[in-house]
Amino acid sequence: MKRGPENLGGQPRANGCSFSKHGAGGGLKNGYVRGSAGADTHSQIHRIVHNGGLYKRPFNEAFEETPMLVAVLTYVGYGVLTLFGYLRDFLRYWKIEKCHHATDREEQLDFVPLYQDFENFYTRNLYMRIRDSWNRPICSVPGARVDMMERVSHDYNWTFKYTGKVIKDVINMGSYNYLGYTQNTGPFSEAASKVLSQYGVGVCSTRQEMGNLDKHEELETLVARFLGVESAMAYGMGFATNSMNIPALVGKGCLILSDELNHASLVLGARLSGATIRIFKHNNMQSLEKLLKDAIVYGQPRTHRPWKKILIVVEGVYSMEGSIVRLPEVIALKKKYKSYLYLDEAHSIGALGPSGRGVVDYFGLNPEDVDVMMGTFTKSFGAAGGYIGGKKELIDYLRVHSHSAVYATSLSPPVVEQIIASIKCIMGEDGTTIGKQRIQQLSENTRYFRRRLKEMGFIIYGNEDSPIIPLMLYMPAKIGAFGREMLKRHIAVVVVGFPATPIIESRARFCLSAAHTKEILDIALKELDEVGDLLQIKYSRHRLVPLLDRPFDETTYEETED
């Protein structure tokens, strides 16, 4: 990961804007000023729309405050469940009732206890009671509608039995199928099956050995062209793309600045790398800037040597909050402090931007400004795997040094074909406008669904353009009740509880898709309205939290007056 200083150093001008250090440069103010004569077309970035004038479009992101009464009742609910959990654990301990959960073995009793921490208590006594809302098996393509297998439990969710019946045509609000490419009929699957008969399912070897097929090369060129970067590399697993490539990029003596809500794969990668990790508050640029400043001023702890590299790790769309990264500000900070940026576009590629090219496209920025563009094929493209895009030197370096490239088997050719076909469709290279229509449909669906939910009075988190829509449930009993009531009404939803969210902020998460038609959304909304009244989860009082993290009178990047 080497980049010449010519982009960032001496003449600090890129993307039509120039940056200077504190106090330096006399006439130039700190931070963000318009580039002079040479500045090209990008200079309309400067239209003052929102904070700092960095945004080309309004950036509306809201996180409504938890109502006090609801918070208190939620804690009371957890209190009741915890008390009963202790009671049940007591009964299990004295063998009054049978313990279904894993326990320490007799002969291991003197060792470190394995099942006594809070997570295990939670799983045993709280999660188990509402487990029927999770891990439901399906038996069809998870498109706009999905077939689910009916199951019952006779021992309060410790075991499940299949009744053999199928719940037909359940509306699917839970799949990461943003552009609706999850299909088992149509041109994509036909192309994939043709490739399957031609190439087989895989070559059982790594990219560095015999696993490198012409299809992979084709895919990588296409991905690079799609992203607008010099070069790209594809991997067989999205999670491993993150967790195996971050260690290849940074190591001891480097600093990783990570958003507090980053996905587990990024966290794992950062920890494996051995670099120092510092966490900044979610999407909070003041917090990030403070960390950057401290890192540069103080250097490494004890020795006070400068950090070898500083890598900012952010996601495009955060899968639990539905928020979009403040990319223009992150890039401005990155340039100002000359660090590197790792952008995980797992949820945003395909789903955001007028041409589906992710969050960079959404903000109308230059892909060159992001050093490492990572993303997955799992979500929008209806396939599997992940990619990394960036400068040619970076990708060449990763081809040699990434564990994913060295040890993991290469992508299966039919999967590659599915990705190629769907990317070509998005780019309009298959001669149709289907891709364009789907992107439009998705953004319409998103706006419509969010607007309607807000009108109904639910508390919705996140950015108004994010296709992930978290609907707050808060109380533990309502998680289970919501999942069950929605399935009763033939709507499949994903509910999210404690380990994935803070304990008080349980939520349901809708993932919209271009495959959803307006009729389907209207049915879903009607049922949601009903369930919302039944469960009393329309908590919203339409009082938005003033974004405390961003003082309105003071911006990090001051702009010059025209």
Q: Is 22 a catalytic residue?
A: no
C-alpha dist (Å) from residue 221 to 110, 250, 392, 551, 555:
58, 26, 12, 44, 40
Looking at 189, 319, 412, 422, which residue is catalytic? Answer: 319
- Show the tokens assigned to 210: 């015999």
Q: Are 514 and 438 in contact (CB under 8 A)?
A: yes
Rule CB under 8 A: choose which of 57, 60, 80, 187 binds another protein: 80
Residue numbers 481-520 binding another protein by CB under 8 A: 481
Q: Which is nearer to another protein, 29 or 88 (CB)?
A: 88
Contact 25, 37 (CB under 8 A): no
Report how far residue 447's alpha carbon sits from residue 466's, in angstroms, rounded to the nearest whole number: 9
Is 319 catalytic? The answer is yes
Selection from 420, 494, 514 nearest residue 191 by Cα: 420
| Segment near another protein (CB under 8 A); pick from 32-40, 276-284, 287-295, 476-484 | 476-484
Q: Which of 76, 210, 264, 400 binds another protein (CB under 8 A)?
A: 76
Give the Å distances, CA to CA, from 32 to 132, 186, 369, 442, 554.
Answer: 52, 49, 15, 34, 13
Q: Of 377, 342, 314, nearest to 246 (Cα)?
A: 342
| C-beta of 121 vs 448, nearer to another protein | 121
Note if 380 is an active site residue: no
- Residue 130 Cα distances to 8, 134, 238, angstroms: 53, 8, 29
Give the pair of three-digit tokens for residue 339: 């660090």
Torsion of CA 524, 527, 528, 534, to 10 degrees: -170
Could you tell me if 505 and 478 are in contact, meaning their C-beta atoms sit under 8 angstroms apart?
A: no
Taking contact as CB under 8 A, which single stretch among the options 19-27, 199-207, 511-519, 534-542 is the one that binds another protein? 534-542
Of 39-47, 57-65, 75-83, 513-521, which segment contacts another protein by CB under 8 A? 75-83
Q: Which of 347, 391, 424, 516 is catalytic?
A: 347
Place of tokens 């029927």: 132
**Interface pattern 118-157 for another protein (x via CB under 8 A):** -----------xx-------------------------x-
For another protein, which stretch binds (CB under 8 A), given 77-85, 168-176, 225-233, 236-244?
Answer: 77-85
Q: Among 10-18, 80-88, 395-403, 539-547, which window interacts with another protein (CB under 8 A)?
A: 80-88
Orientation of helix 434-456 relative to helix 518-535, angle to 10°: 20
For the segment 182-211, give every residue that binds another protein (CB under 8 A): none
Minimum gap (Å) between residue 477 Cβ and another protein:
4
How many residues lie near another protein (CB under 8 A)? 20
Does residue 538 interact with another protein by CB under 8 A? no
- Considering only 49, 99, 166, 477, the residue that binds another protein (CB under 8 A) is 477
The residues in 439-458 that bind another protein, with binding defined as CB under 8 A, are none
In the complex, minimum distance from the CB of residue 103 to another protein, in angstroms, rounded to a whole number = 20
Stretch that binds another protein, among 134-142, 205-213, 429-437, 475-483 (CB under 8 A): 475-483
Give the residue with the Cβ less far from another protein, 69 or 109. 69
Confirm if 345 and 351 have CB atoms less than 8 A apart: no
Catalytic residue among 263, 336, 379, 516: 379
Residue closer to another protein (CB basis): 84 or 118: 84
Q: Looking at beta carbons only, is 159 or 517 nearer to another protein?
A: 159
Q: How far is CA 270 from CA 243, 273, 393, in A?
A: 7, 5, 22
Q: Does 386 bind another protein (CB under 8 A)?
A: no
Per CB under 8 A, does 337 bind another protein?
no
Phi, psi (degrees; rounded to nearest 5) at 9 = -85, -135
Is residue 528 a contact residue for another protein (CB under 8 A)?
no
**Ordered DSSP codes for 241-290:** HHHHHHHHH--TT-EEEEETT--HHHHHHHHHHT-EEEEE-TT-HHHHHH
Q: For the CB of residue 81, give the shortest distance to another protein in the complex, in Å.
A: 5
CB 475 to another protein: min, Å:
7
Residue nearer to another protein on the CB measure, 192 or 481? 481
- Binds another protein by CB under 8 A, chosen from 19, 78, 226, 307: 78
Of 478, 507, 509, 516, the one binding another protein (CB under 8 A) is: 478
Report whether 389 contacts 231 (CB < 8 A): yes
DSSP character for 381? T
Among 534, 545, 549, 560, binds another protein (CB under 8 A): 534
Q: Which of 128/427 has CB closer to another protein?
A: 128
Tokens of 328: 């223009």
For another protein, which is the closer residue by CB, 184 or 536? 536
Choose the binding region for another protein from 69-77, 202-210, 262-270, 292-300 (rule: CB under 8 A): 69-77
At closest approach, how far in Å is the CB of 84 from another protein?
A: 6
Q: For 277, list phi and psi in degrees, rounded to 5.
A: -115, 130
Of 479 and 515, CB closest to another protein: 479
Q: Of the candidates 81, 99, 406, 456, which one interacts with another protein according to CB under 8 A?
A: 81
Sheet holding 494-496, edge to edge: 468-472, 507-511, 494-496
Please give the full DSSP string across 174-216, using - where no structure is assigned: SS--TT----SSSHHHHHHHHHHHHH-S--SSBTTTTT--HHH
What are the start-end ranges of the E strands in 272-399? 276-280, 310-315, 340-344, 372-376, 386-390
Tell me if 390 contacts another protein by CB under 8 A.
no
Binding site residues, another protein, CB under 8 A: 73, 76-78, 80-81, 84, 87, 129-130, 156, 475-478, 480-481, 534-536
Active-site residues, by number, are 319, 347, 379
